[in-house]
Structure 1
């Protein structure tokens, strides 16, 4: 049986609508707060969010008010997750990350700070790049207990197809049958599939340069409830 991801279009969304995958032009300024990177200038917020759906409004669950309502709220910023911040800054080159003293943070410095927030940041960042290389739009998965949610076109057009769980192989705790059943229940109740990414990191990885992250090895496991009706229908179509 071939696996096809579930892609549900949102009501009112145009099938032909496409968003530019990345912002371009001169870099925008983002400030690392110790938890996230905040972009504050109105034109920068629109540029970053509308070209790839990066970040979320600091006062909303999704798009900032500047995008949804067209109104400028000086107290709202665009909050970028650490993984997407590193991607935009050091791979795409459209974000300049500053610390709270307004000093620019270099790649190694930011990775060290991010690992203080999340000890498994390197594995999560590698997983983010892995998913981006496959063309997915990636958002935070914290509201479903995961690392990421991934979309075919973006949250404006589709519901998320997968909840992503990143599992560093250096972690001594493996997924048990009980854990997998719990993930399956999440998939059922949220009408999404679960994708486990096992990440193996070499012991001697130094991550001094951008290319070092290519040493990570990532494998996929899909946790999906078997739907007998869909299976029977797919068999009839292929015959």
Structure 2
């Protein structure tokens, strides 16, 4: 069973103003030891311009059973044949390739993408990739299953064991430390309104200011810092029941 580092502590916090240093890379690898071992052979993936595709059945099975990575996609190649893929978001692929060393990423011309090559590509796909990946690492170090948020307007949705077992525990909003206050307020307001309607809490992660040139290796992500704030939904009926209960005790 997967362990969840500081899960109860995270739930009980409403604010954490002090910045939290990135966990060491060894901590991430230690976390993955809570899952069954990954395959001895490195899994092969193809970058399609937006995400990384895993076509091999063994690789798909291993990644889905060891961390709930990616999502399945089927493509009918003929009347009787259906080809199945596992689609990895760029943060997932970067994590598997350069933190866990479990994935090799190739382009469509069969050229192996190095750390610097893939980082450059990711920044073209997402100009905020550095901050988003730092937040992804931070959440993985806490033991969360991290998936892209396609329903509530945040960057990620995080789960205790996976989306097939429970609904998301938090909607995650990621912003830069040097972002304008107006932009942050607008993002918070948009996500918070959707979260309230859907009975969700919001975890806001603010990543320290950095420049893309500062990241030369995976270890450089340890130099980034993250502050977190948990914004909980306001339950008027619950508050009212607590007030009534206190009044009855008097």
TM range (shorter): 0.7 to 0.9
Aligned counterpart, 2:26: none
Give the TM-score normalised by the residue count of structure 2. 0.75
Matched, 1:103 2:111: yes
Question: What residue in structure 1 maps to residue 145 of structure 2?
Answer: 137
SS at match of 1:222: strand
Q: Who wins on radius of gyration, i.e. which is larger?
A: 2
Correspondence list, 1:76-225, <5 A: 76-172=84-180, 174-175=182-183, 177=185, 179-203=187-211, 205-225=213-233
TM-superposition CA deviations, 1:58-88 (whole Å, max 9, x none): 249xxxxxxxxxxxx7422110000010001
Distance in 2 (alpha carbons) for counterparts of 1:150 and 1:75:
29
Bigger RCO (CA 8 Å, 6+ sep) = 2
**SS where residue 79 of structure 1 aligns?**
strand
Give the structure 2 partner of residue 4 of structure 1.
11
Note the C-alpha offset of 1:176: 5.7
Aligned length in residues = 213
- Which of the residues 70, 73, 77 maps onto 1:55? 70
Unpaired runs of 5+ in structure 1?
6-18, 61-72
Q: Which has the higher helix share?
A: 2
Normalised TM-score (structure 1): 0.78
**Do 1:57 and 1:79's aligned partners in 2 also have CA atoms closer than 8 Å?**
yes
Q: Post-superposition shift, 1:171? A: 3.0
Q: CA RMSD in A?
A: 3.0
